[in-house]
A and B are shown apart, each in its own frame.
Chain A
Amino acid sequence: MTSEDLDRVQLAEVARQVLAHEAGPDRLRAAVDQGGNDPDLRRVLSELGWYAILVPEEYGGFSGRAGDVFPLLVEMGRRAAVGPFGASAVVATRALMVGSAAVQQEFLPAMATGESLATVALLSSVGSMPMSSSHVTASRSGSGWRLDGSSTFVPFGRDADVVVVLAASNDAPRGFVLKRDEVTRCEPLHTWDATRRFDTIDLEGVEFGPERELALSGPELVDDLGALAAYWLACDSLGMSQQLVEATSAYGTERVQFNRPIGSFQAWKHYAADMHIASEAARAGAERAARALDRGADVVQATSVAKLVAGDAAESVASWATQLHGGIAYTWEHDTHFYLKRAKLNQLLFGDGDYHCDRIAGVLEG
């Protein structure tokens, strides 16, 4: 284990304690009642400096690497924590690494303090994938650009000050950085998952200067943004799996039927074992993705493997958790349903299993 790993182990411990305190079951319910919002949690995470981890030092950050936020993303998944951290501090922040100096100077310092929130608009308004045929189109306008169209499943779009938009231009997908007041309309999406907010944004003739374009374009841009989004959701799903395995095991020990704890029945415990195996596979996949991103090698394959394996694992683990809890899990009062819905959305969002299998197959072809 390297010293870096040790720091990450400590960070994981801090994250676990902070989120157990700041994002426990009561807070989750309160945040859900507020429409998937928890400003206090966001404030605490900003004060801890978590929003600054991936921001370069020159803009007030820690110049961290993707693997540094691994424990934070996992712990947030464990609590089904409500908030824009993954979209803002991970995916959008990484996108701005290929932004112009002007964009970085303007946005990153406030993003590092958590004062300003960023998000990503990766999906077109039709269909969940592929990202590369986004229905936002970019056309040249003077020396700058003009955007038209709409993008959906924008995480915390209504709260964001900065939006990174993936758009189709006549030659290649391109990325742009927009300010909140440049977005024409932002319509809330009423998702079954109530632990997060998603919105649809409309862009009608939005014009801006050339400095807002990201330096990366084409398939490399789609790969880069897709990899970070996949990594974020894989970690989130992993945390959910781990929590559900623990909670379900505890229930199997406490709940008695036929004068025995139900967890002593073989049929029950074999499903629980399968939950653990799936969760361990998800952990292996997500850890590999963190290392690949840190090394900058095998990124597409590793992040797609992570999203595929962890996304599917959380969906099955949440399904088994619901079944093994029995009737209580069918109530709103019990927490499992928050995970069930979040896990299903994670599985389908930013590329479902088939999409990521295809991506892996594409890498193998060379």
Chain B
Amino acid sequence: MDEELEALESFRHEVRRWFGEHIPSGWRESMTGATEDEYVRFQHDWLATLREGGYAAPHWPAEWGGGFSLAEQIVIYQESGRMGAPRPALFYISLNHAAATLLHAANERQRSEHLPAILRGEVWCQGFSEPNAGSDLASLQTRAVRDGDGYVVNGQKIWSSGAKHAEWCLLLARTDPDAPKRKGISYFMIDLRSVGVEVRPIKQLTGDSEFCEIFFDDAIVPVENRLGPENEGWAVAQSTLSAERGLTMVEHAERISSAFDWVLALATTEVDGRVPYRDPIIRRKVGALRAEVDVMQQMVASLVQSLLQHGGVGVEASVLKVYFSELARRFADLGLAIGGPMSQVFSPPILGTGVQSGNWMHDWMSSWGWTIGGGTNEVLRTQIAERALGLPREPVVP
């Protein structure tokens, strides 16, 4: 055990040194208010750097270019968070959701076609939610009708993060409209460059357009791009969704802890003769926020323990998501309280940072993306009550 720990510590030093040497200096400044093109180019360059270091997909099996132990992956997430590395956000769905799904449900050909391409920078998005299928995802209505060697797809998807830059889409579509709703869904990989596909960015409340709508109008998906058997897509989708939980939280915990230092610096810096930290109320709020950040880190440490022991996480991931998302809002809110009215003057977002960017108003607005996205906190509270506490399910409305 001690030898293992020692090896892990020397690995940590190696990772820290690598990030120290490879994080592009001044990237936050150059990504502040950057254009889409600049952002995409920067993300591809950063992925290439990570790939050369071997850190692009640490959670993948060795044969596909990963091969780090779980403990090592945790170290990589911790150090990249702590060192303030850019997030490879453009490839978030590719590296996590698409890869998890391919590894879980794809055949050899599908894997060898896409996993290496993803590592080279193939961008994916997720086509799950629909205007009328949000929290109730299983009621989705996009249709895929078998026609010879392909399926003809018609319908509309929404909240596809990064779809405007994506080449491929993880698509859930209904293949049997007569089956019970979870039993008539199939899972496809669709090339967004196909005829009959149109991507339209959604202007969000922040003014950004990270999310998109995707319209399918007689778009064709070849049969070989189906993942898993026909009508068994719902089970496959669970592997995609589980990628959202677990290890990515380690990185968030590290980033929120690093970002706390910005709040503290802001609070203790004199502006116009005023040091916010001398205000007992601000001081107390900073103390209370630190307590929550400590709790978040400890909860993530427990989650990691559970991953190491059981290889998976249960409902505690939902507890953590609710806690983190609501903390993210209070976190930004404190930045705004310290910043005062001047925090309400527009400043451009810093692309590739995540929900703690230090642009407090942008972070505060983005926090609703966290409390609503990835399972609304209301859906998750129901899940926690039923799975952690064993409360009876609500009667199903037919």
Contacts and interface: CB of A to CB of B under 8 A. Distances in A.
Interface stretch (B26-34, B285-293, B336-344, B347-355): B285-293
A276 B382 contact: no
Interface in A227-272: 245, 249, 252-253, 260-261, 263-266, 269-270, 272
Contacts of B322: 273, 277
Contact of A360 (B290, B299, B319, B323): B290
Contact of B302 (A274, A284, A356, A358): A284
Contacts of B243: none
A288 B294 CA distance: 8
Contacts of B323: 277, 280-281
A222 interface: no
Nearest to A269: B385
Interface stretch (B105-113, B172-180, B224-232, B390-398): B390-398
A361 B298 contact: no
B299 A301 contact: no
Contacts of A308: 288, 291
A181 interface: no
Contacts, number: 130
A266 B291 contact: no
B277 interface: yes
Contacts of B271: none
B299 A281 contact: yes
Q: B283, B294, B296 — which one has the most chain A CB atoms within 10 A of its CB?
A: B294
B392 A264 contact: yes
Nearest to B264: A364
A324 B394 CA distance: 17
B291 A357 contact: yes
A19 interface: no
A260 B393 CA distance: 10
B388 interface: yes
Interface residues of B, number: 41
Interface string A327-366: 0000000000000000000000000011011111100110
Given A266-B382, A285-B298, A288-B294, A359 B390 contact: no
B381 A269 contact: yes
A358 B286 CA distance: 9
Contacts of A359: 287
B319 A280 contact: yes
Interface in A307-324: 308-309
Contacts of B242: none
A245 B380 CA distance: 17
Contacts of A358: 280, 283-284, 287
Contact of A261 (B268, B288, B392): B392
Given A305-B290, A308-B288, A276 B388 contact: yes
Contacts of B389: 245, 249, 252, 263, 269, 272-273, 276
Contacts of A22: none
B298 A288 contact: yes
A287 interface: yes
Contact of A356 (B286, B287, B299): B287
B321 to A, nearest CB: 10
B25 interface: no
Given A301-B290, A358-B284, A277 B295 contact: no
Contacts of B292: 281, 309
B35 interface: no
Q: A249, A265, A281 — which one has the most chain B CB atoms within 10 A of its CB?
A: A281
Contact of B393 (A264, A273, A284, A301): A264
B384 interface: yes
Nearest to B385: A269
A365 B290 contact: no
A364 B284 CA distance: 11
19 contacts: A1-B309, A245-B389, A252-B389, A274-B381, A276-B385, A276-B388, A277-B323, A280-B323, A281-B292, A281-B299, A287-B302, A305-B294, A308-B291, A354-B284, A357-B284, A359-B287, A360-B287, A360-B290, A361-B287
Interface of B: 1, 264, 268, 277, 280, 283-288, 290-292, 294-296, 298-299, 302, 305, 309, 316, 319, 322-323, 378, 380-382, 384-386, 388-395
Given A266-B382, A287-B302, A305-B294, 14 more contacts: A252-B389, A269-B382, A273-B382, A273-B384, A273-B388, A276-B319, A276-B389, A277-B322, A280-B316, A281-B299, A285-B298, A288-B295, A301-B290, A305-B290
